[in-house]
Structures are given as structure tokens and as C-alpha cells.
Amino acid sequence: MLISHNYKSLFAPIIVLLVGGALFLLGLYPDISMILGGIALFLIGMEYMEGGFKAFSGGLLENVLEKFTNNTPKAITTGFLATALVQSSSLISIIVISFLSAELITLTSAVGVIFGSNIGTTTTAWLVSVFGLKIKISVYAMPMIIMGIFIPLFLKENSWKGIASIFIGLGIVFLGIGYMKEGFETLKDGIDLAQYAMGGYAGIFVYVLVGSVATVAIQSSSASMAIIITALATGQIDYANALALAIGANIGTTVTAVLGSLKSNENGKRLAVAHFIFNITTGIIAIVFIYQLAELVDYLALFVGIGIENYTMKLALFHTIFNIIGVLAVSPFISVLVKFLNTLFIPKGTDKGKPKYLDNAVLALPSTALSAIVMETKHLYENAFDIITHGLNLKKSNLLSSMELDEVIRDLDTHKSINIDLFYNRWIKGLYGEIIDFSTKAQVNMSPEYIEELYKLKLANRDIVEAVKDTKHLQKNLLKYTSARNEHIKEQYNDIRKGLAELLRNINTIATTDEEDVIILLLSKAKIHMQRYDIITNGTLDKLIRKGLITNQMATSLMNDSDYAHSISKNLIAMAEVLFIEIGSDLKKLHEDMSISDEDVDNMLEKKG
Amino acid sequence: MGIKKFIESVKESLNLDECEKIGKKKSIKRLMEKLRSRKDILDKVPKKKLDKKEKKELKEELAIISLQIKKGVKILEELN
């Protein structure tokens, strides 16, 4: 079930409809009212469990999904295990879509996870048939809910709150199953749905359709499976029709997936298409070979010790088997599928000022939200890099090449000034605002360690913005004096350009290398070279004025602009230290101890002098 | 017992703090190894063949590397 924002926005109306229906039918049909109430409880319980796992896993789930998906079999297995554990394929889908957006995993891996997740979602049927129907709700469900309510009163940590939500969720799910079962049992005394059983392929098609429509209506294949299993357990439907209903639930969930992806980004849409193709293919295979599959289930049921009359567990087994067969049938074509998916939903031109990685769906997932903020901050820096480069009258292509810096300085980008304000408003201001807004929202669900990292990232964003603003101030005189007749002032301003060009080039190397010693060396160098802008202390200004090489007006401008250059360097170095040293890496842990201090810089300059 | 306290007591009983220290030591040693080999390469550069600017750059790089190695040694001493 690839569910995104739409499902979340439909959740409340579905619950209201179910509860409203239950209340309306309470007098006339108490049994149907009980079933509707049971479905509502089941959905609420699943929602609680999902929220609980988000809070409990605290980034672990995201780390596992990021690290163990580098090939298709691994991705399928991880998707299966993760979904089976958290009982929510929608949660897994949200994480996968955000990873795709953040370019943390490939589309092939993401498709693999979704396939695995489809098998993982069949464990709900096992949970219902093995435990849900057998557990006496009054014995287990209520204590679970009560425990879930009491835990947060004593244990305040987020992970305990998560465990509490899982307990409450599980308790409510069992309660819901109990009500559904009771409702179907009572209903049997009045209306026997089994009389509508249909045989042959006509029956299969009708029940596949019923299963699909029911799943579309309640927007959850897990809830559909719970209804089918409880109805089967109470004898309201026969086994053959239950199999068709299960296939229908699988097909119906694709509509939910497509609906869910409508508001999603292009990655979400591509995954929804992959999911749609997978479920439809699986559904067709299951319908065509339904009798052979039923025989296979009978054979395997005996093999694993499921009684021949235990239809609910056989249904769960059928559900798992046909999803596994689907994965086996479609997996060999994943590369073809991915090629096809990559041709879909290609955005028409990109707006550099719009966020690329921020997705509200990941706000509740601290690690993923942090990754998204890191990626978006890098995006902000890319924009800033372009503006600063133009502002310094440098060509980006030269800067990113191995061209000598003196040549880079000579090869001017333009002879006119660019309107930095315009580019700031287009590429920086809005994006910066979005990052800060997203960070503030994400912070609510974060642990103190994550909040500390987030705080540093917010500062890095501010540093980038300040660097762009300072470039704007610097640009005015820079253009004027680099084309001046006075060679001395020209040299000073070209030295500023060269210094900043060197810094931008070094930051680019830092951003692209994995060599820790290179990163440390370049950051240290940048800190030392920054002192070139302290023209009062290093005597440059004194010398120029004393010898009458520049006018007083030039001296004032140079003093101010050196300050701007110093500030740009300081901000960009601080930003690079946060943004381009990977969170959790060895270097991140060491950098604070190893980075050179202002005192070290002074000492080195003294020695030099 | 809160989760943090529980984790702390598990860390204490399994001596995990020591593991953290060992991990940090390993990272520093690895980094210092890289810095030392870089220093060795730079030390071997024939200085006579370099122009003034290149000599200045080389001197600066060597000074930075030496400072980093010194810092690394100090951290290692503190961890021991």
C-alpha cells in the first residue's frame, strides 16, 4: 500500500464515515454497526502503531533502509523485513520516496523495497489469523491499551512514548478484530452472506471486484484482509471466494497508491506506477492460476502443519504465496521497469529557487528529515555558489577546472554588474525560508542529538545567505576597481577575487572528496589564507597609503571590501565544516579536536612573518 | 529506569565507553597515518627546483600537516 499525503488526508473522513455509519445502524443492524466500529478501531490501531514505530525507531529504520538496499535481493529482503516489523507499508513507502528525493538510494533499490514491502504487508494477515482471532480481547487487548496509556506517565523519553503507542495500537487492532468477528458472528444469525457464494470464474471475478472496491473505500488493504479473514473465520464467506477477495484487496490497494501519489513528487509518482504494475501483474497471475495456487497452498499447508480445515491460516498463506510469486515474476524485469519509469514524470524545467528535497511526509522521521535538510542546504549552496561566482566576475567553468588561479582571475565573466538582489530573491530568499520552516517543524520530533545537528545546519544556512549578501556589497567596488587605471588598487581587488576563487575551488574539492586528510588540510589552509583580508594588521593598507599609491577614497573602499571578503570567507568555511563533513563520519567526530584555532593561525602567521 | 539510564548501565557493564575510545583512537591513527605519508612525500620534494611561490606553498602545507600531527598525538595521549 503505497500511501502518501492523500491517505493521511482521507484517514479522518473515513473514520468519521465508519463511526457515523456504526451509530446510524446501531438500532436497526447492531451487528453491521459492530463490524463498522471494528474496522474503524482497526484503522485507528494501525495509525497508532505507525506513529509508535516512527518515534521508537529514532532513525534506526531509516538507517537500515538506506544501508541495506544496494542490490535488488537485499532491497527486497529489507523491504519485506521492515514492513513485517513495523506493520506499515505506507511508512516504508514514505521513507523510500524521501530517500529517492534525497538521492540516498536508486530507483532500482526503491522498486525492490516496494516489492519486498508488498510481501511484508502479508504478515498482517498472519497476525490476524494466528493471533487476532485466537486472542481473547478482554485478556490481552485491554491490558495492552492500559499499559500504553500508563507508560508515558512514568517514562518521558520519546522511545518509550513510541513503545506506548505500539501497545495502544496493537491493543486497538485486536479490539477491532474482536468487534469485527463478533459482528460477523451475530450477522450470521440474521443474514447469511455465505448464501451469496459463487463458484467458477464468474465468482472469482465478482469477488475480486468486491475486494477491490472495499479496499478502495476503506483505503487500506490490511483492514480489508482483516475483514476477509474474520468473515471467513465466522463462515460468512467461503474459502474460494475469500481467495478472490484477497486478490481484489491487492488490486484495490493500487488505486490507493495512485491516489496517494497524486500530491507526491515525481519519485512518488514513479514508485506508484511501479507498484501499480506489480500488483496488477500479480493479480492477473493469481486470477489465472487461482486453482493451481489453491492446490499449492493445500500442499504447503500440510507441509508446515496447518490443518486442512484451517481456512484463515490457509488464506494468509495464499496471500503470502501469490505476492512472493509476483515478486519472482516481476523481479527479472526490474531494470526494464526502471528504464520505463525514468521516462515518466520528467519535470518541465527546474526552478532553482524551489526546494527539491523537502517533503512534509518525512517530518516525523528525524534521520530522513535531517538528510533532506542537508541535501536542501547543499542545493542552497549551489545557488549561492553561482551568485558569488558571478558577483566576483568569475566564470564557473574556469573555477571548477584545473586552470591556474591567475588565469581564472584574468578571464572575466562579464563587463557589467549582475543584479545580485534579483538572484538573491529568486534563488536564495524563498529557499532559505522553506529550509528554516521545514527545520522548525522537523525539530518537534527530534532527539537532543539531532536537534544539535539541526542547529548547526541552520547556522550553515545563515552563513550561506550572509555570504551572498556580502558579495552584493563587495560587487559594487570590485567591478569599478578591477577595471581602474590605478594598477595598485586593481591588484588589491584582484587579490580579493583570487582569494575567494581559491576558497570556492577548495570547498568544491572538500565537497567531492572522501580523503579526510585533504579535507582537514584544505579547511586549515582556508583559515590561514583568510587573514590576507586583514589589511590593517598585515600592513598592506599602511604601505599603500604611506607611499601615496591609492587615494583616501580607494583606501576606505578597500578597507570595507576586505572586511566583506573576510566575512564571506569566514561564513563559507564555517558552512563547509558543517555541510561537507558527513554526519556520523569519523572526521565529524574528530574535526572539533583537530581543526585549527585562531590562536594556531596567529602562531603560524607569526612564524611566516 | 529511563531508556537513557538503561543504555548507560548497559554501556558501563559491557565496557562500551572503552569501545568508543578505541574507535576514536583508530580514527585518529588512520588520519595521522595519512598525514604522515603526505608529509613524507612533501619532505622528499626537491626544493631547489621550486620557484618562490611553490616553496611558500610547500612550507605552508608542511607547517599545517605538522600542526595536525601534533594535535593528533596530543589527543592520543589524552585517550590513553
pLDDT tier, A120 (very low <50, low <70, confident <90, very high otherwise): very high
Contact A133, A233 (CB under 8 A): yes
pLDDT tier, A6 (very low <50, low <70, confident <90, very high otherwise): very low
**A140 interface with B at CB cutoff 8 Å:** no
Q: Quick one: average pLDDT of A330-357? A: 86
Give the Cα separation of A198 and A192 in Å (integer): 14
Cα B43 → chain centroid: 19
Q: What is the pLDDT of residues A500-535, one digit of tens each?
A: 999 999 999 999 998 888 998 999 999 988 887 887
pTM equals 0.72
> How high is the pLDDT of residue B6?
63
Q: Which helix (H) or strand (E) holds B4?
A: helix B3-13
Distance from CA of B72 to the nearest CA of A (A): 7
**A582 interface with B at CB cutoff 8 Å:** no
Give the Cα separation of A542 and A534 in Å (integer): 12
Number of Cβ atoms within 10 Å of the Cβ of B74: 11
Interface probe with B: pick from A160, A405, A517, A603, most Cβ of B within 10 Å: A517
pLDDT tier, A31 (very low <50, low <70, confident <90, very high otherwise): confident
**A521 interface with B at CB cutoff 8 Å:** yes
**Nearest CA to A365 among A82, A147, A70, A12?**
A82
Q: Is the pLDDT of residue A323 over 80?
A: yes
Contacts of B39 in chain A (CB under 8 A): none
Among A452-456, B13-17, B21-25, the range with the most confident prediction by mean pLDDT is A452-456
> How high is the pLDDT of residue A356?
85
- Taking any CB pair shorter than 8 Å as contact, residues of chain B touching chain A are 2-4, 24, 27-28, 30-31, 34-35, 38, 60-61, 63-65, 67-68, 71-72, 75
ipTM above 0.95, yes or no: no
Lowest mean pLDDT segment, chosen from A79-83, A255-259, A395-399, A450-454: A255-259
Q: Which residues of A417-430 are buried (b: 16+ CB within 10 A; e: fewer)?
A: ebebeebbebbbee
The torsion of the CA quartet A143, A148, A152, A158, rounded to 10 degrees, works out to 150
> How high is the pLDDT of residue A463?
97
Contact B1, B48 (CB under 8 A): no
Q: Do B3 and A520 touch (CB under 8 A)?
A: no
Distance from CA of B54 to the nearest CA of A (A): 13
Nearest CB among B3, B38, B75 relative to A159 is that of B3
Q: Quick one: average pLDDT of A37-44? A: 87
Q: What is the pLDDT of residues A544-557, one digit of tens each?
A: 888 989 899 999 99
Contacts of B79 in chain A (CB under 8 A): none
pLDDT tier, A196 (very low <50, low <70, confident <90, very high otherwise): low
pLDDT tier, A3 (very low <50, low <70, confident <90, very high otherwise): very low
> How high is the pLDDT of residue A193?
62
Give the Cα separation of A87 and A127 in Å (integer): 10
Q: What is the pLDDT of residues A351-403, one digit of tens each?
A: 889 898 887 777 877 888 898 899 999 999 999 999 999 999 999 999 999 99
Q: Do B31 and A516 touch (CB under 8 A)?
A: yes
Q: How far is CA B16 from CA A191, A452, A472, B22, in A?
A: 64, 23, 51, 10
> How high is the pLDDT of residue A386?
94
Give the Cα separation of A190 and A508 in Å (integer): 74
Q: What is the pLDDT of residues A253-294, one digit of tens each?
A: 887 777 767 766 787 788 889 988 999 999 999 999 999 999
Q: Is the pLDDT of residue A9 over 70?
A: no
